Structure 1
Amino acid sequence: MTFATILPKDASPSVVCLGLAALDRIWRVEAPLAGGSEKIRASQHLTEPGGMAANAAVTVARLGGIVSFWGRAGNDDAGHIMAKDFAAEGVDISHFRLFDGGASSVSGIIVDAHGERQIANFRGEYPSDPSWLPLSGLVADCVLADPRWPEGVEALFRAARQRGIATVLDGDVADAAVFERLLPLTDHAIFSEPGLRGFGGADVDHALAQAAGFGCRMVAVTRGSSAIVWRDELGRHEMPIPTVPAVDTTAAGDVFHGAYAFAMGMKLGIEEALGFASALAALKCTRHGGRAAIPSLEELKSS
């Protein structure tokens, strides 16, 4: 697939991303990740902003899209670090709200020499009420959300539906009740393998059919180095993903979702959008880091 030919020239889709913004503290280790109690020497430590929808927003920005992040954090050091980084990336943060008395989400991530990772996340403490979101003025080519703020997602997706704006849901791990609430408002639901398993069980086809039953235009699951599986009105499909020398999978799923939303904003078809998102996420996995390693559109075209 030649992305220079399938992407409209000089187009800049407008995307709104809503959901989790977290401050990631990352440790790199040489030993493979293992269970049980142990002390591991880290070869590197760094701190960088992350979060599913937040990284997706930065992905859209690096691809050349016009993007706003709608979300919550505490009015604390972590919140201000995240806001500063968004601004530096060109992400509009007019509706990234820092709550007095709130606590920002912070994640601890351990990455081994093979690029595999373990994450511990404090989800933050802030009000769930979404009434402050500027829904009456919503203008976008596509909206994307992760499931960490169901009240906000529901409000955004309802407003998007009323305006004919495509909705993309990052199907990360969440309670089944959250998906039952959000899937009826979702056009494109893209699950992680753990997220789909938690929602519909271990059988991929059964779980996808269950999700599709809520009326989504398309439901898909990303499966690491295995093929993407998706269902749409034409049935079941698979797409192999690019084979790359992966060194770090941190934020790969976020990059995939952001790239897919960008592609939807460009009015690409589902298969083209999935291929585009797969290529960008695979390129990210060849680089160490989370947000810092998100590729630009020019880097993808030249890879």
Structure 2
Amino acid sequence: MIVFCGYANADLTVAVPVLPGPAARVQATAVRRGDGGMAANAAVAAARMGADARFAGAVGPDPLSTEFLRTLDADGVRTDWTSRTGVLTTAVVLLTPDGERSIISQDDQVTPGHVADVAGRARAAGADWLYLDGYRFPAAAAVPGGPGGPALVVDLDGCDGPRAMRAALDAADHAIVGRAQAAAFLGADAGAFAAAASEHRVHLVVTDGARGWTLFTPGGGRHGGPAIEVTAVDATGAGDCFAGAYCAELDLGASPPDAARVAAVAAGLSCTRPGARDGLPRREAVLAHIRATPTEPTRTDAPAGGAPHSPGPAERR
């Protein structure tokens, strides 16, 4: 079981010819509403990849929140640990014709107490994995962990500064982050990312859009792979898709490099349809693409003085 704790959003997507600058004014070409949120999207991505996924965020008691949870249930995501005492927040997504976007999000009511309660439930239920988004740190750095508990996967995008990111890295077994965010908070080159993985004893996946991904292991290993070539319609939710698919592959027994390779394909496919949720692919589509498309082999660099470190999903620090 994978428990996803974090953002749930009602997305308002506004198509614009260009992203506006300060004091600029642009005319929207389309406006649509849909479901979103980092953790909720990742939970759906994991469920569509075949995982036993549970969403444990915070929404409201209103009909819109009820419908939001119904759509998660329809995708096979259990929602009984979701708090109904908050509100379903709104995210405004500005989307350009080439699929790039800027997002304005609203703070939610996933409190440190809620995170601690979900972590305790996950441990008691024998969950294998707990996902948190980066907005929970540094407050969630004391999430219950240790032997016998779920391994922690953190999507670092959303961390508010270096202190929050380092607190998340300290807590996590696996962490995923976009290259721009990693460079801003950890350092601008691969050496800084490798040092962070080693220092915090974490498997750190740095994603870089169309340029692919690199995984830095605690033992100094480095693995990388390409993104797939697609005509991007909407990149909203692609990072959430990568995180959810990565969790699902780990839960199914894949090594971290193999999990990242499959997650990259899923994330690429997710960009070919509009919306954060509609484009999330199912496992059969991802595997069919892998079988049908010759891909560049995963790049592997050995740590100094030894063979590549490629631990299985059950490894704990």
- How many residues align? The count is 284
Q: Percent identity of the aligned residues?
A: 29
Partner deviation per Cα, 1:15-38 (whole Å, 9 max, x = no partner): 111111111111123x23242333
| Partners of 1:58 and 1:224 in 2: CA distance | 21
Q: Which structure 2 segments of 5+ residues have no match?
A: 290-317
User: What's 2:30 paired with?
Assistant: 44
2:172 matches 1:186: yes
Return the letter of the residue paired with 1:230.
Answer: L
- Look up the match of 1:106: 90
- Report the equivalent of 2:133: 146
Match of 2:15 in 1: 28
Moved over 4 A (4+): 151-156
Residue matched to 1:124: 108
Structure ranking higher in strand proportion = 1
- Helix, strand or coil at the partner of 1:68: strand
> Alpha-carbon deviation of 1:267?
1.2
> Cα RMSD between the aligned structures?
2.2
Contact 1:166/1:264 (<8 A) preserved: no
Q: Secondary structure at the match of 1:129?
A: helix
Looking at structure 2, the residues matched to 93 and 242 of structure 1 have their Cα atoms a distance apart, in angstroms, of: 32
Q: Which has the higher contact order (CA 8 A, sep 6+)?
A: 1
Structure 1 residue corresponding to 2:51, chosen from 65, 73, 82:
65
Tell me by how many angstroms 1:210 deviates: 2.6
**CA–CA distance in structure 1, aligned partners of residues 249 and 231 of structure 2:** 25
1:1-303 alignment to 2 at 5 Å? 14-29=1-16, 31-76=17-62, 78-99=64-85, 102-125=86-109, 127-130=111-114, 131-133=116-118, 134-150=121-137, 153-154=140-141, 158-159=144-145, 161-163=146-148, 165-175=150-160, 176-216=162-202, 218-232=203-217, 233-303=219-289
Aligned partners of 2:32, 2:78: CA distance in 1, in Å? 25
The equivalent of 2:300 in structure 1 is: none
Relative to the length of structure 2, the TM-score reads 0.81
The amino acid that maps onto 2:49 is: L
AA of the residue aligned to 2:153: V
TM-score after normalising by structure 1? 0.85
Question: Contact 1:129–1:151 (CA<8 Å) still a contact in 2?
Answer: no
> Hey, what does 2:303 align to over in structure 1?
none
